[in-house]
Amino acid sequence: MSWRIQRDSDRRHLLPQSRPTDGKMGYSPGGKSCRLYGLEYMLESDAIMESVGTPTERDAAMAPDRKRRLILASPRGFCAGVERAIDIVNLALDTYGKPLYVRREIVHNVCVVSELRTRGVAFVEELEEVPEGSRIIFSAHGVSPEVRRAAAARRLKVIDATCPLVMKVHSEADRYAREGFTIILIGHADHDEVIGTIGEAPLAIKVLGRAEDVDRLSVPDPEKVAYLTQTTLSLDDTRQMISRLRARFPHIQGPPSDDICYATQNRQHAVKELARRVQLVLVVGSSNSSNSRRLVEVAVNAGVRAHLIGAADELRLSWFENAWCIGLTAGASVPERLVEEVIGRLRELGFPEPEHSGGIVEDVQFALPPDLVRDSRACSPPAFQELAPARAR
**Across residues 263-268, what is the average pLDDT?**
97
* Cis peptide bond upstream of 381, omega within 30: no
Q: Is residue 130 part of a domain?
A: yes
Residues 137 and 172 in one domain: no
Domain limit, last residue, from 248, 275, 297 = 248
Residues 276 and 340 in one domain: yes
Residues 315 and 334 in one domain: yes
Residues 103 and 138 in one domain: yes
Domain limit, last residue, from 248, 280, 300 = 248
Q: Is residue 256 part of a domain?
A: no
Per DSSP bridges, beta strands 182-186 and 135-138 are unpaired
Q: Is residue 254 part of a domain?
A: no
Query: Which residues 6+ apart lie within 8 Å of 142 measured at CB?
Result: 162, 163, 166, 167, 170, 192, 193, 196, 197
Q: Read off φ and ψ for residue 328, nearest 5 degrees.
A: -130, 130
What DSSP element (H or E) covers 14? strand 11-16
Residues 108 and 68 in one domain: no
Please report the pLDDT score of residue 384 as a whole number.
54
Q: Are 143 and 58 in contact (CB under 8 A)?
A: no
Say yes or no to pLDDT of 46 above 90.
no
How do residues 278-307 score in pLDDT, each as one tens digit?
A: 999 999 999 999 999 999 999 999 999 999
Q: Is residue 348 part of a domain?
A: yes
Residue 36: beta bridge partners? 39
Query: What domain range includes position 100?
Result: 80-163+366-392
Residues 279 and 289 in one domain: yes
Residues 294 and 357 in one domain: yes
Which of 114-128, 205-219, 372-386 has the weakest average pLDDT? 372-386
Please report the pLDDT score of residue 256 as a whole number.
87
Kindly name the residue from 44, 193, 200, 297 that is annotated as catalytic. 193
- Who wins on pLDDT, 386 or 49? 386
Residues 266 and 314 in one domain: yes
Residues 172 and 108 in one domain: no
Across the beta sheet with 32-36, the strand order is 3-8, 11-16, 39-43, 32-36
Distance CA 269, CA 289 (A): 18
Distance CA 57, CA 64 (A): 11
**Across residues 216-245, what is the average pLDDT?**
96
Task: Please give the single-letter amino acid code of residue 289.
Answer: S
Q: Is residue 255 part of a domain?
A: no
Annotated catalytic, 353?
no
Mean pLDDT for all residues in the chain:
85
Domain limit, last residue, from 218, 248, 278 = 248
Residues 310 and 336 in one domain: yes
Please report the pLDDT score of residue 192 as a whole number.
97
Please report the pLDDT score of residue 162 as a whole number.
98
Q: Is residue 226 part of a domain?
A: yes
Task: Count how many residues are written for the chain.
Answer: 393
**Surface-to-core class of residue 266, CB atoms within 10 Å of its CB (0-12 exposed, 13-18 middle, 19+ buried):** buried
Number of domain units in the chain: 4
- Who wins on pLDDT, 38 or 350? 350
List the CATH number of the domain containing 278.
3.40.1010.20
Distance CA 44, CA 33 (A): 9
In 3D, which of 306, 304, 274 has the Cα closest to residue 293?
306
Residues 223 and 268 in one domain: no
Q: Read off φ and ψ for residue 94, nearest 5 degrees.
A: -70, -30
Residues 91 and 66 in one domain: no
183-185-186-192 Cα dihedral, nearest 10 degrees: 180
Per DSSP bridges, beta strands 121-124 and 100-103 are parallel
Task: Please give the single-letter amino acid code of residue 102.
Answer: V
Distance CA 349, CA 62 (A): 12
Q: Is residue 274 part of a domain?
A: yes
pTM metric for this prediction: 0.82
Q: Is residue 291 part of a domain?
A: yes
DSSP state of 43: E
List the CATH number of the domain containing 156.
3.40.50.11270
DSSP state of 57: H
